[in-house]
Structure 1
């Protein structure tokens, strides 16, 4: 290439693009023991004694962790050096296997009932030495000097010429935790959506409700399953084949919200909206959620009742608490009633100067005694180190629980 000539190869900029990070993965290896238990009863110990060094009595084979095992009892000892002093007990691998890792426990049972068993356990020492490895069929783990023979023959371990040896084997296995590697996500229940479709398209409907002239088609079985009151009215009446019922004590919008809950197990959008706590006294009882509370009580729908209580609870204020308390008492809304009583007791001075309290005095005199009991409970809280100002102190100087001056009504 001569000077000044241009190369046919054009320059290019190498651009390295980083692929988006994949979701992190994880796995978990779980190593544990598969445990099994075998009881070996040796009857006629005195006759077995003297059979010879290295001679043994063997139990039936038993299976733990996919391997067969057996207990070997040597009444005269396994080795010559131990024959005159000790009995020997071993556990043997009785099936084909290579490098089988396991933990063992041998227990000579106290037959006096005192529970003073003689325990030789590898489980207690697994952290120090790890599991024992048996390399082939016939490999053994145990004790050449399991128990001194002279002591054994005069002990509570030997009764009616009988010994009982309990054996526990724990075979070590390792595996990858499949529940993490192959988890299956279960979606949230959509049964409400499915039943809601029945409400929308009315397929298979078999009863019609007339509510102030507005018609609502429904399904008897759905209503009966959800409400014991509907079940009684539909199936326990004189005419079980009735196709239409007239509802006289509910407004159409309330009955519509009631059906929405029965089919979908949720509040309707209209019922979800909670009016401001500054609403007038009369408007509290006229809200859809308040009327739905009454309907829930009427048809024994306890879950719907709690939903309504939860919504009304958000609307509690000095001006509304008395009216909401009256509603809660009338419709057996115990959770809401307790909250109202507590709120009224803690803000007594302000509540007593509200229009709602006048309504309470005129229409619900029995609630006053319950309020007094709640006040007494608040007094106990104050005396034990709660808020700094007593509810009775509020009445004397016209302030609330936070020490703020409450404007007198004229």
Structure 2
């Protein structure tokens, strides 16, 4: 068997630095006659870590060049053996030149010579090995999006729920996978003789709709975010009850988290009662901790909600008072 051909590759890159300097000579006519080899030099400018300057020779650099101006770009850094660079020297509004001799009569405007230098310094090259990636980009999972569309389209739905005055169509197998209670009611040996239509008691249609949405998409409906704060809290409370009823653990934890992060003096007592009734230990601890804090206890005691808890769940109040005592002793 022929062995696979190993394919390798490498890349060479060059680091560069760019800079531009403009050198203006005012009263240029006064510079004529300086003498061959005499020059005017710009201030030093730095590009790529090296110092540079522009030199202008009004009378040229050699004998018999008095009628020409010569322009150079000079490396003025000390102790530098070699620098690679590309440059573009030009008189404003004139063609680009390199170490050029220009007739004075065509260069000077308003007795002013304006020289621009664009400089590209080529620094050290780097070579490194590359390898062709065998990774193929995989988009994020969209199964919940497809399941949500399945719920909306009602394709191949095999069970109908009647909740109040509304009906909802769904798929037994998916409900059974997501909820052990639905599995027992719809597919187990104790299922009703006819499960084509199931009536749901003691639940609002909006709550059942949100429950189905979560079962199919593993997320809360988007329209819940548009509810007013009080209405949203009420919906979350009802969803927690529904999640406990149908043993949808993740939804139950999500509801506990929302309620636990939004405790206040007016609602903590009823939230505590809800947590105690539906065995939400984490939410119950959060409520007791909120009530037990010294700055909150007196305010909570004054609410009607705590009075109701004293009658229905006295053990919960005892837990709160015991926790407050521990806080005081700490």
TM superposition score normalised by structure 2? 0.56
Gaps (5+ residues) in structure 1?
A: 1-10, 15-26, 30-175, 384-410
The answer to whether 1:263 aligns with 2:216 is: yes
Correspondent of 1:345 among 282, 292, 314: 292
**Matched-pair contact (CA < 8 Å) for 2:148–2:213:** yes
**Matched-pair contact (CA < 8 Å) for 1:272–1:311:** no
Alignment of 1:196-211 (within 5 A): 196-211=148-163
Q: Secondary structure at the match of 1:208?
A: strand
Counterpart Cα distance in 2 of 1:317 and 1:306: 19
**Matched-pair contact (CA < 8 Å) for 2:272–2:283:** yes
Cα distance change of structure 1 residues 28 and 210 upon mapping to structure 2, 3 Å threshold: farther
Q: Which residue of 1 aligns with 2:206?
A: 253
The answer to whether 1:333 aligns with 2:286 is: no
Q: Which residue of 2 aligns with 1:301?
A: 248
The answer to whether 1:217 aligns with 2:169 is: yes
**Matched-pair contact (CA < 8 Å) for 1:292–1:308:** yes
The answer to whether 1:324 aligns with 2:271 is: yes
Note the alpha carbon deviations across 1:102-133, whole angstroms, 9 max, x for none: xxxxxxxxxxxxxxxxxxxxxxxxxxxxxxxx
* Residue 217 (structure 1) shift: 0.2
* Residue 360 (structure 1) shift: 2.0
The answer to whether 1:356 aligns with 2:305 is: yes
Gaps (5+ residues) in structure 2?
A: 1-92, 97-126
**Matched-pair contact (CA < 8 Å) for 2:185–2:192:** no
**Matched-pair contact (CA < 8 Å) for 2:162–2:198:** yes
State the aligned residue count: 209
Q: Secondary structure at the match of 1:292?
A: helix
Cα distance change of structure 1 residues 372 and 240 upon mapping to structure 2, 3 Å threshold: same
Counterpart Cα distance in 1 of 2:224 and 2:318: 32
Q: Secondary structure at the match of 2:319?
A: helix
Cα distance change of structure 1 residues 364 and 183 upon mapping to structure 2, 3 Å threshold: same
Alignment of 1:5-404 (within 5 A): 183-236=135-188, 237-239=190-192, 242-272=195-225, 275-276=228-229, 287-346=234-293, 347-380=296-329, 383=330
**Matched-pair contact (CA < 8 Å) for 2:272–2:287:** yes
Counterpart Cα distance in 2 of 1:28 and 1:267: 49
* Residue 272 (structure 1) shift: 4.2
Note the alpha carbon deviations across 1:5-47, whole angstroms, 9 max, x for none: xxxxxx6899xxxxxxxxxxxx998xxxxxxxxxxxxxxxxxx
Cα distance change of structure 1 residues 284 and 255 upon mapping to structure 2, 3 Å threshold: closer
Note the alpha carbon deviations across 1:310-349, whole angstroms, 9 max, x for none: 1112321111111111111112222211111101101212
Q: Secondary structure at the match of 2:161?
A: strand
Measured on the aligned residues, the alpha-carbon RMSD in Å equals 3.3
Counterpart Cα distance in 1 of 2:207 and 2:241: 10
**Matched-pair contact (CA < 8 Å) for 1:274–1:289:** no
Counterpart Cα distance in 2 of 1:13 and 1:350: 85
* Residue 188 (structure 1) shift: 2.9
**Matched-pair contact (CA < 8 Å) for 1:322–1:360:** yes
Cα distance change of structure 1 residues 314 and 324 upon mapping to structure 2, 3 Å threshold: same
**Matched-pair contact (CA < 8 Å) for 1:208–1:243:** yes
